Amino acid sequence: MFKKYLAVIIAFILIAVSLIILSQSLRRPGSPGVVKKLVFEVTAPVERTINSGVGSVGGAWRQYLFLVGLEEENRELRKKIAALQGEVNTYREMSLEGSRLKKILALEDSTIYPTIAARVVGNEGSSPFRTIMINKGSTDGVKEGLPVISPEGVVGRVIESSWNYSKILLVTDYNSNIDALVQGSRAQGILQGGGHRLLRLKYVQRTEEVKAGEAVITSGIGGAFPKGLMLGTVVRADKKDPGLFQTIEVVTSVDFSKIEEVLVLQTEKE
């Protein structure tokens, strides 16, 4: 029992001694005695430890409150940054769209035919036919067979039209055949789609001198496409294969993965 309450007994004795010395010092102020000094030596570390603990708890609490406020401020800043980034992207998209529409308007002014501006609203490139959908139809004057162009060159021709939408067969489709002309050598042939941007210019005589880098344009023969529209560029002309004609490969001038606006040429007379 004595060992169990030894610490309590010692603490009680120290407190009692401190009170006695304190009362004596109040009655007889003067220089502190030996006992009083001993009490101070014993109680000072205890008081310092208690004060240090209280100060640490108070500092930790203030640090916690500061971190909570900082986290809330960071959350608000992240929201503002996200909103600003959204506005920047919107303005950037508007700027890019304005640049594209400016090119479309310039193309519209340069053509001699009436045009119908349309936006691409669907891409069926994964289907057996290479087609796109535009948001203009027969109500706007779009008819089957009309050519479709972009600032980069020929896109294709209308193959189906409803009141408000139309389907365009791209020049890259296997069923697309356009009378074409090599601009430099004036060699004529039929440009056939190959399912991707690499086309083939067929029926060009071996006697024709066709070089890589030459532009290929519409010849105007057949009446479907006006003469002089850009189709692509020759990337290979090969006469090694036997036969009457040479092998000519052409890459389209239009990147169909990025096309968003087009013009339908009203070449048919009412």
In the CATH scheme, what is the code of domain 114-270?
A: 2.40.10.340
- Each domain of the chain, given as residue ranges in start order, spans 1-22+33-110, 114-270
Mention every residue, 6+ apart, whose C-beta is less than 8 A from residue 130: 124, 169, 170, 172, 173, 174, 176, 193, 195, 256
pLDDT in tens, the chain (270 residues): 555 566 566 666 666 666 666 556 555 555 455 555 555 555 555 555 555 555 565 667 777 677 777 777 888 888 888 888 877 777 777 777 677 777 777 777 778 889 999 999 988 755 557 899 999 999 999 999 999 999 999 999 999 999 999 999 999 999 999 999 999 899 999 999 988 888 999 999 988 999 999 999 999 887 789 999 999 999 999 888 777 899 999 999 999 888 888 999 998 754
Would the pTM of this model clear 0.75, i.e. be above it? no
How many helices and strands, by DSSP H and E, does the chain display?
A: 2, 12
Given the structure tokens 């108070």, which residue do they identify? Answer: 58
